[in-house]
Amino acid sequence: MKSLGTSEEAQGRRVEIGVVRRVLPYLWPKGQAWVKWRVVIAVASLILAKLVAVATPMILGAAVDRLSGEDAGQSLFVLGAGGLTIAYGLSRVLDSGFQQLRDVVFAKVGQRALRRVGLETFQHIHNMSLRYHLSRKTGGLSRVMERGVKGVAFLLRFLLFSIGPLVLQLVLISGALAAFFDLRYLIVIAVAIVTYVWFTAVVTEWRVKIRKQMNDQDNDANQKAIDSLLNFETVKYFGAESREAARYDAAMQGYETAALKTSYSLGVINIGQALIINTAMVIVMLMSVQGVAAGTISVGGFVAVNAYIMQVMMPLNFLGFVYREIRQALVDMSEMFGLLEQPPEVQDKPEAPPLRVDGGRIEFRDVHFSYDPERAILKGVDLTVEPGQTLAIVGPSGSGKSTIGRLLFRFYDASFGAVLIDGQDIRDVTQGSLHKAIGVVPQDTVLFNDTIYYNIAYGRDEATRAQIEQAAKAAQIHDFVQSLPKGYDTTVGERGLKLSGGEKQRVGIARSLLKNPPILLLDEATSALDTQTEHEIQESLIQMGQGRTVMIIAHRLSTVVHADCIVVLEQGQIVESGNHEALLAQEGRYAHLWHLQLSEEGA
């Protein structure tokens, strides 16, 4: 067990070192001279501030000696007491001024890094495969991003402005104590520093484990809250408000327990650090009092020694805070960078060319696929859609119809076989060009919580208002939009819930029409609608397919009777194919499904 724990700790260290390596390039990026200049100026300001800070106690001590009459011309300063007082005040102003200059100059570097790592994470998540997004937890994921991005900004700032500068300040102060006073002062300070750092490191390691537990509980609570709010209507339907509140409270109870442990451990570390700091301070003060009594140092020297002790102890106390926060930031960032390390399941090949669509011919050649190795979904599917033709895929639920659409759009890659468009294997071309060539109208069109105009315009970035309205007219939703008080500026609500199912589908159709793709995929685009709305939208879909290669995945056979070819899929295999009349004449599986649906509609 001990070796296992050691192995886990070593692994944790490697992860944290990797995180630091990932962050450092944001401080010194290639080809970004302005960033490097800002870092150099910020560091120079910091060094000047530390030099001024170390000289300040000596100026104060000299002023005290002049005022007490103990200066026998031995002072390094030739100014009078008034001049030394002014110099002391000026040194304090310069110390603060250089620190503020450092912060102002570095602010843009830190914000740029925060923005870039946030964008990198956001883009990476969008590049992840559908399999990842089907299993992810949105609430927990948003928390990981939020904490990780903030952690990067914190780590950049404190790596540059806390650890190194603190070491520099301690070295300068130690040198001043040894040179102007007594080596014993330096020994006491050195022992205090070593003890303080050791204690802080040991206790912080303990706290980091608690922090991980707290993060996990925070992710869980946030996920449950978002999941419940997204399913607001379902909660209401089943009167489950109290049940949801209980689930959320249980998650928050776990967070509360971990947070309390964090608070208690913080108290332990603060008390221990205060004990170490103040013990060292008292020892040094007693030594300086003895020095004054023995005449080995002046009253001004006593004041200077105590000022130096304060300069040592305050940064040490800050070091404890910085070390704790850096360790916690590393925990937060390791989750985010762990996410960034996950490679997308579907990736472009190096130097992959864009897809060239000449006519839009689609071929599935002996395609096999499974989500789980133990359960095959498609078992050797062969089908062809000629340019400009409409192919419909029908069959019972679970037969693999929607999987064919997902493979065409390359949400997944086939386990065996190939999917081709105009003779090009879609695995050999860029995903961006493939997605641009295919327009999809899904079963449930999900809209952004924005205006109708924005949601239609989403189909094409550069579209004009006239083009957007033309797409809306073609989708037979323009008149409805015009009847609304705010017209195209009407907000559709979360996931488009302010619109009916038919209205959402028409917005989705308008969006795909605006995209104007050569290939169209209709994935059960009307199955969630009532019969009347379905017939109305069906006309829009047929019009939309004119001049395009269309693949329709359907449950209701009445929506595909116009298709040039219909294939019947069962248990991942094509069992029949032909047009509507030919399939009815065969009196096979399609004819059985057709008559079954007719009888259901008649009933």
> What pLDDT digit, counting tens, does each position of 100-157 carry?
777 777 777 777 777 777 777 777 777 776 666 665 555 556 666 776 777 776 776 6
Least confident of 78-82, 107-111, 448-452, 472-476: 78-82
- Do residues 276 and 329 share a domain? yes
Residue-number span of the structural domain to which 410 is assigned: 362-602
- Do residues 336 and 474 share a domain? no
The residue from 341, 376, 406 where one domain ends is: 341
DSSP 103: H
**Closest Cα to residue 299, out of 55, 67, 56?**
67
* pLDDT tens string 251-264: 888 888 888 888 88
Please state the rounded mean pLDDT for residues 41-63: 74
Please state the rounded mean pLDDT for residues 286-310: 77
**Residue 43's pLDDT is what?**
75
- Do residues 284 and 402 share a domain? no
**Residue 72's pLDDT is what?**
46
**Residue 164's pLDDT is what?**
67
**Residue 362's pLDDT is what?**
93
- Do residues 80 and 185 share a domain? yes
* pLDDT tens string 387-434: 989 999 998 888 888 889 889 988 888 889 999 999 999 999 998 899
- Do residues 406 and 543 share a domain? yes
For the ranges 121-125, 338-342, 503-507, the one whose mean pLDDT is highest: 503-507
Count up the domains in the chain and report the number. 2
pLDDT exceeds 50 at position 3: no
d(CA 503, CA 560): 21
> For residues 253-292, b (16+ Cβ closer than 10 Å) or e, as one string?
ebbeebbebbeebeeebeebbeebbeebbebbeebbeebb
**Closest Cα to residue 545, out of 364, 389, 386?**
389
- Do residues 246 and 387 share a domain? no
Please state the rounded mean pLDDT for residues 294-317: 74
- Do residues 533 and 593 share a domain? yes
Percent of the chain, pLDDT > 90?
11
CATH of the domain at 496: 3.40.50.300
Please state the rounded mean pLDDT for residues 544-558: 84
Summary mean pLDDT of the chain: 78
Residues 6+ apart with CB under 8 A from 401: 393, 394, 395, 524, 553, 554, 569
Does residue 237 lie within any of the structural domains?
yes
- Do residues 423 and 531 share a domain? yes
**Residue 116's pLDDT is what?**
76
- Do residues 285 and 401 share a domain? no
Confidence of residue 384 (pLDDT cuts 50, 70, 90): very high
**Residue 567's pLDDT is what?**
92
**Residue 135's pLDDT is what?**
59
**Residue 364's pLDDT is what?**
94
- Do residues 332 and 372 share a domain? no
Question: Cα–Cα distances in Å, from 165 out to 28, 90, 162, 501?
Answer: 18, 21, 5, 62
d(CA 583, CA 567): 9
The residue from 311, 341, 371 where one domain ends is: 341
- Do residues 324 and 398 share a domain? no
**Residue 426's pLDDT is what?**
93
Give the predicted TM-score (pTM) of the model: 0.62
* pLDDT tens string 181-232: 777 877 887 888 888 888 887 887 777 777 777 877 887 888 788 778 877 7
Residue 562 is which amino acid? Answer: H
**Closest Cα to residue 442, out of 520, 383, 381?**
520
**Residue 562's pLDDT is what?**
86
Please state the rounded mean pLDDT for residues 86-111: 73
Handedness of CA 242, 247, 248, 251 (dihedral sign): positive
